[in-house]
Structure 1
C-alpha cells in the first residue's frame, strides 16, 4: 500500500497533498517538530517529533518503504528516501528519483558552498500558483505510478 509522508515544517503544499491523499484513499503522515493543524480524517495522522536537528527527517527516513511518496524540499532526506525505494516530490513538483537525486545533491552542495562564500546572497524565487499546479499534477502522477509498481511487485 502506498503511503504519503510530508516533511511538514516548511511545506507549502500540505493542503494540496491532503486533497490528493483523500481522493486516492492514501494514509498520510504529517511529520514535524511542532503542532501543525491537520484535517480531521482517519487517513491523515500528525506525527510530532522531539525538537532537534533532522529528527523529523530521521523519522521519515526510518518509516518510508518502497512505493511510498515523500513530500520534501530537503535534498539529503530525499536521497535517504530514494535509497529505500520511495518516490520523492519537492513542493514545486520536481520528482527526485534515482535518476535525479545525484544531480540534486551536487547542486545543493554547490549552492551551499556559494552561499557560504558570499557569492550568492539572494534566496530562490517565490512560490507561485503555477508551482502548486505543477505539484498537484506530479503528485497524481506519482500515485498512479506507485500503484502500478506496487501491483507489479506483488
Structure 2
C-alpha cells in the first residue's frame, strides 16, 4: 500500500506525508515540473515530475498505480479512469470516489463547463480551511486503521 497524490492542486500533501511518517506508508507525488521542490522529505516520499500540460500528471498516475494504492485527487476524470483499477480514490474533501457517485460528479463538471462556455458564472470551490484539513486527516487515518484491520 502507498499513497499516490495528484500533486498539482492538492491542499493535503502535508497531511498525507504526516500520516505516511506515522504509519510508515510510502507516498508518491506526481506533479508538473512547475511545482518542483527542493524541500527535504523522508525517504518514504518520492516525487515524479511530468511536463506541463493538462493531463500529464493524470496519465502518469494511471501508469504508476497499483491495486492497493490510495489515491488523492480532485480530478473527477482521473478518478473515473482509476475506478477500474481496484484502488481507493479520495477527494481532499474526504469524499471517496465510487462507481455509485462518479457519473453524477462527471455530469456536474460537464454542466459547469457548459454554463461557463455560455458566459454564465459558476461558483468556485470554497477556500480549504484548517478544519477541512483536520477532517481529511481524521478520515484518512480511519481508512488506514480499517485497512490494517483487514490485513490481520
TM class by shorter-chain length?
0.7 to 0.9
Deviation at 1:126, TM superposition (A): 1.2
CA 1:136 to 1:130, structure 2 compared with 1: closer, same or farther past 3 Å?
A: same
C-alpha separation in 2, matches of 1:82 and 1:74: 12
Aligned to 1:86: 87
1:144 aligns with 2:145: yes
For the 8 Å contact 1:33–1:49, the answer to whether it is kept is yes
Give the structure-1-normalised TM-score. 0.86
1:32 aligns with 2:45: no
Deviation at 1:78, TM superposition (A): 1.0
Aligned to 1:17: 16
Segment drifting more, 19-28 vs 113-122: 113-122
For the 8 Å contact 2:7–2:13, the answer to whether it is kept is yes
C-alpha separation in 1, matches of 2:39 and 2:8: 12
Aligned to 1:96: 97
Q: Which structure 2 segments of 5+ residues have no match?
A: none
Deviation at 1:38, TM superposition (A): 4.8
Taking the TM superposition and a 5 Å limit, the aligned residue runs for 1:1-150 are 2-34=1-33, 35-148=36-149
Give the structure-2-normalised TM-score. 0.87
Which string of whole-angstrom CA distances, capped at 9 and with x for unpartnered residues, describes residues 46-79 of structure 1?
A: 1111222311110101111222111110110111
For the 8 Å contact 1:68–1:146, the answer to whether it is kept is no
Q: Which runs of 4+ in 1 moved over 6 A?
A: none
RMSD: 1.9
For the 8 Å contact 1:3–1:68, the answer to whether it is kept is yes
SS for the counterpart of 1:18 is helix
C-alpha separation in 1, matches of 2:79 and 2:134: 21
CA 1:38 to 1:57, structure 2 compared with 1: closer, same or farther past 3 Å?
A: farther
SS for the counterpart of 1:76 is helix
